[in-house]
């Protein structure tokens, strides 16, 4: 398993993923929408995501994300 970096974040843009954070928590079923550079105050890159069923963008610093798990939405639609 590789660390979550700018290149791996770009590969997940537009896809639904579970974001596993370094503190052990998980943000489930979100769609990565954009990668923003941090402000001039020295903050790193930010990952923008939209939670499933919501339209509000949320940001998290990329350094807080340990890894991302790609979701297969076809399996979820079968379970319904």
**CATH architecture observed for domain 6-79:** Roll (2.30)
Distance from C-alpha of 58 to C-alpha of 61, rounded to nearest angstrom: 10
Domain segments of the chain: what residues? Answer: 6-79
Contact 58, 50 (CB under 8 A): yes
Tens digits of residue pLDDT in 49-65? 999 888 899 999 999 99
Residues paired with residue 16 on neighbouring β-strands, in sequence order: 31
Query: pLDDT by residue (tens digit) across 1-41?
Result: 567 888 999 999 999 999 999 999 999 999 999 999 876 66
Token readout for 49 is 């995501």
């Amino acid at each position: 398993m590789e660390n979550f970096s700018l290149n791996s974040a770009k590969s997940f843009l537009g896809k639904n993923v579970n974001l596993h954070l370094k503190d052990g928590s998980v943000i489930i079923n979100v769609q990565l929408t954009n990668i923003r550079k941090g402000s001039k105050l020295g903050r790193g890159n930010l990952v923008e995501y939209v939670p499933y069923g919501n339209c509000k963008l949320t940001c998290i610093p990329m350094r807080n994300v340990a890894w991302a798990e790609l979701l297969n939405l076809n399996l979820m639609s079968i379970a319904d």
